[in-house]
Structure formats: structure tokens, C-alpha cells
Amino acid sequence: MWRSLLRTFASAPSTTIKPPSSPSPTLSHLCSSREYSVKSNKAVVTKAKKGKSKSDAKSDTSSSAVSAAADEFDDEDVRARRLAEDESDRSLDVGPNGRPLFTSTPSLSQLSRTDACTYMKFSMEELNAVLPEGLPLGMVKEFEESKQTALLVRRSFLDLRDNFRRIVDPPLQSFDAKDSKVRKQIVLDGPVSCGKSIALAMLVHWARDEGWLVVYVPNGREWTHGGVFYKNQQTGFWDTPMCAGLLLFDFLKYNESRLQQLPCKMSDPIPLGEGAGVGWMKGVDSMAMPEGSTLYDLIQTGVTHTHAAVGVLVRLRKELSLVKDIPVLLVIDQYNNWFTFSGYEEPVTVRSCRPVHAKELAMVNAFRSMMRNDMMVGAFSHSTAVGKLRKDLPDVPADARVNFTRYNLDEAASVCHYYLRQRLIRREAFSEEGWKKIFYLSNGNGSEMRWLLPFMR
């Protein structure tokens, strides 16, 4: 709707408003003048119809055709039908300089540097199966606007993928990587809408395709805001049992068969806490796992018993550090929310409360540290701003932070041609000069480019 209004205002002829030379008319004058003007307009229209020339008829026909084309462009149903018809026309799948717009590589594992700046098609069934925790908001918006489940293969994603691939397979080298240093712990930082969340989701997709065990937290802010919270006197940390139960449940969705093959290596009793809305268990403060239990049994215990959810999640973090048969990767989005105050408060007096820091939460305390020997990647989300953090963060290696940039000129060219292919831009209005202006105007911000490109003239 907003785009239709903007196009209407942009196409309307400019008029000059002159100040009135006489006093403002009364209501009766306005009514009478309005009635007279309507009658006069009807008379003019009648005369024009009688004396219309052939040239006028042609101009009216052409203007109506342009108007119909504009209406067709704005109608989402018509656009969807046109896109369905375009699927069989491969001549439209052309990117910058005549290069293919879509890659023919069948999987994320087989992508090479030559596939950079091309689009890779996915299916929603595939994405929902491999990412049961949920898709990033930016990915969902991209799919909705473009009406196509395709993502741009970026050089930055390939560097991120190859970094962790080289940890598991050291002889494998990225032949033209700018930074040859391998990092087991990475923190992605960069401006808003630079694609960090989408890159993390694609990394999780790739790692699970490779058979890795991946803990994926797409919304780290949920660990510090919302839900019930209790102070656990045994551990001294704050428990959030509802959040812990949801994470355990999501973790089981994709990894169930693999977790059944991994035995528990720790036999210490699991401390219990206050259940979500049900209070404490009477006379019981810990739970022991039966001998021969697997990680699946451990997680199932936390899903079934809300009192044990937080304790099981903390134990799972320790168990994952002991897994050697399968590569384990921890992927945390909105990681910056774990270094500031949470949304919880502890009553101090009748009239005052103390804000609870994220590090005081049992779940955050267990998963935040990058000082272990585990593969872990986190991303700062500036759309969920928590204030400016210092460069040297606690529990994070000094060289872990990596800058994730917005689109460069080559990537923007592919993006613009893709949106042209998906009928977000009129072909008669598309030009290299036009999309470059929008690229520089948006400073490579993907969401802003997607919003501005339909208004290209």
C-alpha cells in the first residue's frame, strides 16, 4: 500500500499553490460553487466526448494501458502469477555481465568461490526440517518480498564455513582466503542488516548436512527476557525453566537419532530447581541419571521434568565438551544480549529492585564462555540494541571478533538483477546507473535496497 502511494505521489505533476487574493468563502458559497463546478464539468465532459479526435483517443488508450500496467505491477496476486509463468523461461535467469544468476551447485558443502554472488534455491520444507528452531527474521522477509526461497551466496559466508571446515579437516585449505588463521571461536560484528543472522542460519544448515551436532540459538535475547525466573539457592544462579525446556525440545527435533548414539560421560547428580509455575519438589534436591544413559535420555529428562530443565541444560553443555566422535558446533545469535543486564529484577526492599545481570542466569553462565576448546560462533544483533559494549569482552578471546560487512558492489549488482528477475523492479526503469545510486544511498543495507529499488526511475 505504501509503495502504491509513493508511486502515485512520485508520478503526480507538480503544481504551484497561489495564495488567495480574496477572503475565504463561506460554507454556503462553497456548496453553491461546488454544485456549479460539478455541473460545468459534466457539460465539458459531454462536449469533449462528442468532439473527441482520433489523436485524443490514441493518447487516452496509451495512458490507460500504462495505468493498467502499473496496477498489474502493484497487485501481488498478479505478480505471483507472472512469476510462476517465468519459472519456465531460463532466459530471465541472467545476472550482471551475462553471468548465471542462480548456481547449479546442489548443496552448501559443494559451493566454491566461483559460486559467490549467485543465488542458491532452497525449499521451505528443507529449511524447516534442518532449522526447526526457526528461521531468522531477515530471511523470512527476504522470502516474502522476493516470493522465492533463494539466498545470495556471499564470500563472507564461504570464509566462515571454510574456517570451521579446516578445523575438522586441517589439510583442507582455502586457496584464496585473505585470513589464513583458523579460529575455533568467532564473534560476528557489523552494522544493522548486514546479513549476520542469515549467515549463521546457512552455517547451521551446512554443518548439519555434514553430520555435525549443532546447538543453534537463533534468539539469544529470549534467554534474558521474558518467562518465569527463580533464584536457585543450591547453585546461586537464577533459573529460567521455561526457556531451558524450550531449548532442549528444539535441540531434540533435528538431533534425536544422533544423540541416542552418544553415552553420558558424567555421573554426578543433576541439581533440581523450582519448576515453572509448580514450585519445588518436596524432599528432593537432585536427580541421578541411570547407568548407561545417553544424551537423548538426559535431554528427555529435562523436557519431561520442569524442575530438572535448567540443571539438564547446564549438564548438556559440559557433556558436549566431552564429545569427540562427532564435531560439535555452538551457534548463538543475538550474542551481545548476554553481556549486559537482563530483563529480570530482584526485589531488594519494599520499594526497590536490583537488575539481574545476564551472567547471573544459569543458562547464560553455562553457554556464554568461549574460553573452552569448543567450536563456537556468536553474532551481535544491533537490531536488539543493548548499548555499546567494550571491545575486550569477558570470556571471549581477544582475536575472536570478526567484522561482517554489508553488500559490496559486486554483491549489490547480483541482488539488483535478482530483484529485477523477481519483478520487484520494472524492466523499463532498470538501469545500471539507477541501481548504483540506490546502492550508495543505502550504503549496502540489504533491507533498505529491497525497499528502495521498486521506486527506481
pLDDT tens-digit map of 102-158: 999 999 999 999 999 999 999 999 999 999 999 999 999 999 999 999 999 999 999
Give the pLDDT of residue 173: 54
Please name the amino acid found at residue 317: R
Give the pLDDT of residue 199: 97
The DSSP letter of residue 248 is H
DSSP string for residues in 21-66: SSPPPPHHHHHHHHHHHHHHHHHHHHHHHHT--HHHHHHHHHHHHH
Instruction: Please check whether residue 450 is in contact with residue 419, taking contact to mean a CB–CB distance below 8 angstroms.
Output: yes
Give the pLDDT of residue 203: 97
Instruction: Please check whether residue 422 is in contact with residue 83, taking contact to mean a CB–CB distance below 8 angstroms.
Output: yes
301: number of CA atoms within 13 Å, CB side? Answer: 24
Instruction: Please check whether residue 188 is in contact with residue 380, taking contact to mean a CB–CB distance below 8 angstroms.
Output: yes
How far apart are alpha carbons 72 and 7 in whole angstroms?
Answer: 13
Burial of 145 (0-12, 13-18, 19+ CB in 10 A): middle
Cβ neighbours of 393 (radius 10 Å): 19
pLDDT tens-digit map of 180-231: 688 999 999 988 889 999 999 999 999 999 999 999 999 999 999 988 899 9
Burial of 309 (0-12, 13-18, 19+ CB in 10 A): buried
Give the pLDDT of residue 36: 37
Instruction: Please check whether residue 152 is in contact with residue 411, taking contact to mean a CB–CB distance below 8 angstroms.
Output: yes
The DSSP letter of residue 264 is -
Tally of residues, the chain:
457
How far apart are alpha carbons 207 and 320 in whole angstroms?
Answer: 16
Nearest CA-CA partner of 451 in 101, 122, 144, 123 = 144
Please name the amino acid found at residue 32: S
Strand partners, 185: 376
Instruction: Please check whether residue 328 is in contact with residue 372, taking contact to mean a CB–CB distance below 8 angstroms.
Output: no
Give the pLDDT of residue 32: 41
3-class SS of residue 357: strand
Q: What are phi and psi of 12, to 5 degrees?
A: -70, 140
Which residues of the chain fall short of a pLDDT of 50?
1-3, 5-55, 57-59, 61-72, 174-177
Q: E strands within 274-321? A: 286-287
